[in-house]
Structure 1
Amino acid sequence: MGRFVALAFLFMTVKGPIQAQHVPLGSWETYFSYLSAKHVVQVNDHIFCSTYNGLFSVNLADKKIRIWSKSDGLSENGVSSMAYNSEDSLLFVAYRSGFIDLVYLDKNAEPKEIIPWPVLQNAAGLPDNKEVRQVTFHQELAYLSTTFGIIVLDTELRQVEETYRYIGSNGSEAAVSNIAFSDDSIYAVTSNGVLAASMQPAVNRQYFANWKPVGTPANAVAICQFNNKIYAGFPGKGIYERASGAWNKVYSSESKRYSIRKHEKSLIVALDDKILTIDENNNATITNNTLIQSPAEALQTADGTLWIADYKNGLIRNSGPDFTSFVPEQKDTIISPRPDSVIMDYNGISWARLPDYLGGGILVENKENNKQRVLSASVGNGSLPSSSIRSLALDQDGYVWFASDKGVGYFMTDDILNTSRADAVLPVYGQRRLFANEKCTAIAVEPGNRKWIGTTNGLYLFSADGTELIRQFTAADSPLPSDHINALRFDPENGIVFIDTPNGMVSYRSNASASAENLSAVTIFPNPVRPGFAGLVGIKGLLDKSIVKITELSGRLIYETASQGGTASWNLNDYTGRRARGGIYMVFIVSNDGSEKFAGKLAVIE
């Protein structure tokens, strides 16, 4: 009866489910620059564009932009080449590392399946540089132009068909930039000039002697088949066509760069600062505009619209006289200025990391009385594991934490300028000093006092005292674009940690945020939880270390936790690890001192 009365009272004080939109806990977001566009392909009614470290698509109907990233299932970010095979609805994505994703798309250009394919990584004897320069589909096979030759792949069987690696002079290795097919031959632009080989089944194309040099006016940089002829671009000379064994100039140009693509009835050529269209009669039309500054690649849709990937201005659309730039909304792409170079402790004392060229260490200074000291690796005067300090942060207990080239640690700040001896506290994890002899590059503190630590080998989240590992991320198992962390910044209001790397910046929504003053604005999200949801339920607007209990309507407790700052989370599992069934659940919250209480409902839909 007692439990029934208590439950009835709580039902009368319930605030009801809050349905405000929030960034889901555990979610990632990218902050890449999409201006350095490199490749563009058409997939049905969508245009896909890759940049130095990003990929996005544009819906031709409504012009909406969709960003693609590792959060969508892609393996990496740095796309080196891509091509679309309409027969299989396959977007072939190759990364700078040589890793490949086979992205199968539906008619709306949404992913049906993404198959990671480390075929080049798993192949023995390949060089470290496995970057794919161009992907060309021919008779259902994918031909990869690489720095070490041509790799022929069967994407359906996911196997290597052939490798044309040692096709240079006297069987030397030849780097290939792109290829083209004409009649029964394959043409390749290589470091040994243009080479050609017969595509007849009886010809062994893995034998270098079957690749014949093709005489050219100069060193070609691009090649394409059009109108039953081979066209090539020559720096400083222009576009030539090959007919009856001879090269004839089609268009004269001083351009140093050429990218040639075949359309139904024309060739689309990207030059240094303009787009060239060549029709079946070799009539040339120039398209230029102030937006077209450094075109990398271009295509033409059926209605005559040009889509241009530009190294400086992103994706550009040209329809008639109109030129429009299509790039995702640009946000801050780096952490600047860094918040961890100079900090102030709760006593008003300044702590600054000194650069290595000044000897390193930490300068501690009271600017009111000009009292100062430099903490170093010397015992009694810092005992730093390394004088190379990369980051400083003040935690909730008033301790100053540091990240150094040989691990992390912290100082108790009271009387730091008045005591003769000051030694860093070096946390111990797993029976050894935390990150001993490992380069730590950044540190940030959550409102719940947990520590985010960036290294050259990934990102880590540790407990307040650094003795318990809570979470670890690397580029291999998360949307991190690189294992090398440059800088960290934590947004306490929204519970987001920003992560700056050499390959771009991303953010992660933590399950910690700034503590609220009371429980008047508690938010439960998502609410309701819909079928297929695989994330965390967030409960925000709490006081630090609030107790959160989740029960069935019967009053049976199935989960209990304490908030990290102003946020708590639930993975939708009960104490036994079983997934919560569909229904209504009660969420009871009590502040750490018992002065504040809240009750709410959470709906789980099966």
Structure 2
Amino acid sequence: MKQDFFKENSSRPRQQARLLLFFLTLSFHFVSGQNSPIGSWETHFNYRLARQVIKVKNHIFCGSYNGLSSVDANNQIKTWSKIDGLHETGISSLAYDEAQNTLILAYRNGNLDFVTLDDEAKPTQIDPWRLLNETQGIPEDKSVRHIILKDQSAYLCTSFGIVILDLGQKQVKETYRYIGQDGTQVSVKQAAFSADSLFALTSQGLLAVSTSPTVNRQYFANWKAISAPGQIVSVGTFGKDIYAGIAGSGLFKREKAAWKLVYTSKSQHYNIRESQDHLVVALDNEFVTIDKTGTIQHLADPKFRMLNDAILTDERTYWAADGHNGLLTDSGTGFQSVNPAQSDTTISPRLDSVIIDLDGLSWSRLPGYLGGGILVKNTQTQQQRVLSTNVGSGSLPSQNINSLALDNDGFVWFASDKGVGYIAPQDILGGGRVDAILPVYGERKLFATEKCTAIAVEPGNRKWIGTRNGIFLFNADGTELVEKFTAADTPLPSDQINALRFDATTGRLFVDTPNGMVSYQSNASEPAENLESVTIFPNPVRPNFSGQIGFKGLVQSSTVKITTLSGRLVYQTTSQGGTASWNLDDYTGRRARGGIYMVFIVSESGSEKLAGKLAVIE
């Protein structure tokens, strides 16, 4: 009799789901959360390089060099990245538009994200704004250094001037670009408003212009240079007054076209901002606050190593962004770090510089100052050989070797400035001819014109190749492209790949880039010795699940068969090492219907085992 209990029926889907879950609790082994979903990403950013801190409702947001984190009223920490819907990596500046309840994130590449928040500071919508990055004729450095919000406009300080953005229309209203001497272009670090003027800290010093509606602020002659008793490194507003930090001298207040010393300091770094009716000034390793009566308070702490920013909240709590210790807060007995838990944030040391082959020979990539190439050495006999671009002595496509890896067949793979290839190590030190094998893909040598920066081999013997244009996954011999990953369509922080490391136990690929490290859960892992601990995850499969089902704990090259309860084959695949995956599509490309499926595993020797049951809930 045909099994139809889980056939879709609009009159009782909820009842079916409840019965299914009850049945599962009686007869299924549920997989715990130690298995990350196949295809999922994680970030491994360094949040201790903190640069800016702001308050958004009852949350504190901290922007670091590569990451963004937040702390709620219960001290719960959350990290934000492309995984959460952000469009870029590398925060350059933050601002909060209270009128529209929108967090503005500016990135180093010039793009912006407008994050609409609910009353609990959770994102409800994230809208990208890419005009600066897409506009031709402006400098390559498009990063927004500082954001000021005024009259429903955002003043973006950039390397090519000030861009005024209408926050309602998300359109550029004006650009103050050629405001330097004789109409030259200037770079703007910060800006601040007084009662009647706009001040800009530029590459030509401090400039000011009237905010009167009759003044053309795009005309350079209306901008006046403001002299100072030293090098101004920061400018800010308190009330309607302008303050400036002068390197090695201290904090000054602008009064009647002159500067008045307010606080003496030898600091070379200042960051000035108004916060809760106080002026808060971050210095090298301390910060000071000034209230409306002019009372100055000085705060120092051993954790202050490189203060970049500080604020005071309405709860009278101080928060600081430090370039060494991350986000700090006043605990009452001193400042303490409030940072996301993190382990390694970079791939170091790089294990792909020296590898040992199956015969115990050492293979090392030689640096350029030694001529490059690959050094093969028997560390017992000290016999060695250098492989180069010379025919018969390596036939490498380039002397610049960037990465080495040993595959499951014993071949030594390399990534070079002109593609990838592999070498058979048999009798490598015998003095005979040695020529690298260069895979052919698309009727040409693989990556012949591409700088390949890293290579890693997974337990399924597929090759992960890092380039300046993303990551490529190829089959075992490098002739078939399996998948491509770029920053445009994945959470990769950058297309420039510095290093790769594959964790065979977990099946995670760690990716190091200039914008931070991330990891990807692949569908390959180290094979098991037997089929006694096969896990299926997730199980059950919830409605609207869009990922891949994982089968882990398999022996090498296992065949996985998924059938209905009646025995009809729905899908079959082969494991990559100890893991296989299924995207829930059957052989016809249709998504599997809700119900119970049987999972059988067949080893290379032909032995078959029932791994378990898989529940799909519609």
TM range (shorter): over 0.9
Alpha-carbon deviation of 1:369?
4.4
Report how far residue 152 of structure 1 moved: 0.5
Partner of residue 62, structure 1 = 74
2:269 pairs with one of 257, 266, 280: 257
User: SS in structure 1 opposite 2:146?
Assistant: strand
1:307 lines up with 2:319 in the alignment: yes
SS at match of 2:133: helix
Say which is worse superposed, 442-451 or 69-78, in terms of deviation.
69-78
Give per-residue Cα distances to partners, 1:109-144, cap 9 Å, x unaligned.
Answer: 222111121110122321111121101111111110
2:368 alignment partner in structure 1:
356
Distance 2:355 2:449 in 1: 25
Tell me if structure 1 keeps the 8 A contact 2:2–2:566. Answer: no
Aligned to 1:198: 210
Aligned residue for 2:495, secondary structure, equals coil
Which residue of structure 2 lines up, in the alignment, with residue 116 of structure 1?
Answer: 128
Residue 398 in 1 paired to residue 391 in 2?
no
Secondary structure at the aligned position of 1:116 is classed as strand
Q: d(CA) in 2 for partners of 1:344 and 1:544? A: 23
CA distance in 2, matches of 1:3, 1:121: 57
Could you say what the CA RMSD is over the residues aligned between the two structures, in angstroms? 2.4
Amino acid of the structure 1 residue aligned with 2:559: I
C-alpha displacement at 1:174, in angstroms? 2.1
**Could you say which residue in structure 2 is the equivalent of 1:7?**
none
Q: Secondary structure at the match of 1:71?
A: helix
Change (3 A) 1:321 1:347: closer
1:479 to 491, 500, 505: 491
State the Cα distance separating 1:3 from its structure 2 match. Answer: 12
2:61 pairs with 1:48 = yes
C-alpha deviation, 1:97, in angstroms: 1.5
Residues in 2 aligned to 1:91 and 1:495: alpha-carbon distance in whole angstroms? 36
Name structure 2 gaps, 5 residues minimum: 5-22
Question: Gaps (5+ residues) in structure 1?
Answer: 5-10
Distance 2:98 2:235 in 1: 22
**What pairs with 1:133-148 in structure 2 (closer than 5 Å)?**
133-148=145-160
Tell me whether 1:409 sits opposite 2:417 in the alignment: no
Q: Does 2:560 match 1:548? A: yes
Q: Secondary structure at the match of 1:324?
A: strand
Counterpart position of 1:464: 476
Q: Find the counterpart in structure 1 of residue 18 from structure 2.
A: none
Cα deviation for residue 153 of structure 1 reads 0.7
Q: After superposition, give the CA deviation of every residue in 1:511-568 in whole Å (9 maximum; x if it has no partner).
A: 0001111111111111222234322211111112211122333443332211111111
Moved more, 114-123 or 215-224: 215-224
1:131 aligns with 2:143: yes
| Cα offset, 1:294, TM superposition | 1.4
Distance 1:582 1:15, change over 3 A: closer
What is residue 504 of structure 1 aligned with on the other side? 516
* Greater mean alpha carbon deviation, residues 492-501 or residues 209-218: 209-218
Aligned amino acid, residue 128 of structure 2: P
What is the match of residue 287 of structure 2?
275
State the Cα deviation string for residues 284-312 of structure 1 (Å, max 9, x = none).
Answer: 00010101121100111111110000111
What residue is the counterpart of 2:188 in the other structure? Answer: 176
Give the deviation of 1:370 after TM superposition: 4.4
Residues of 2 paired with 1:429 and 1:166: CA distance?
Answer: 50
1:533 to 541, 545, 549: 545
Paired residues of 2:598 and 2:610 also in contact (CA < 8 A): no
Aligned residues: 598
Residue 244 of structure 1: how far off its partner (Å): 4.2
Q: Secondary structure at the match of 2:232?
A: coil
Aligned-pair CA distance for 1:242 = 2.7
Inter-partner Cα distance in structure 1 for 2:365 and 2:261: 62
Other-structure match for 2:500: 488
Q: Does 1:569 align with 2:581?
A: yes
| C-alpha spacing 1:350/1:228, structure 2 compared with 1 (3 Å) | closer
CA contact (8 A) 2:534 2:611 kept: no
Percent of pairs with identical residues: 58
Relative distance call for 1:294 and 1:354 in structure 2 (3 A) is closer
Compared with structure 1, are the counterparts of its residues 395 and 318 closer, same or farther at alpha carbon in structure 2 (3 Å cutoff)? same
- What is the rounded CA distance, in whole Å, between the counterparts of 1:373 and 1:354 in structure 2? 12
- Relative to structure 1, the CA distance from residue 198 to residue 605 in structure 2 (aligned partners, 3 Å threshold; closer, same or farther) is farther
Which of the residues 350, 357, 363 maps onto 1:345?
Answer: 357
1:266 aligns with 2:278: yes
- 1:121 counterpart SS class: helix
Deviation at 1:581, TM superposition (A): 3.4
C-alpha separation between the residues in 1 aligned to 2:504 and 2:516?
22
1:46 shift after superposition: 1.1
1:37 paired residue among 50, 57, 73: 50
Q: Give the letter for the 2:190 counterpart.
A: N
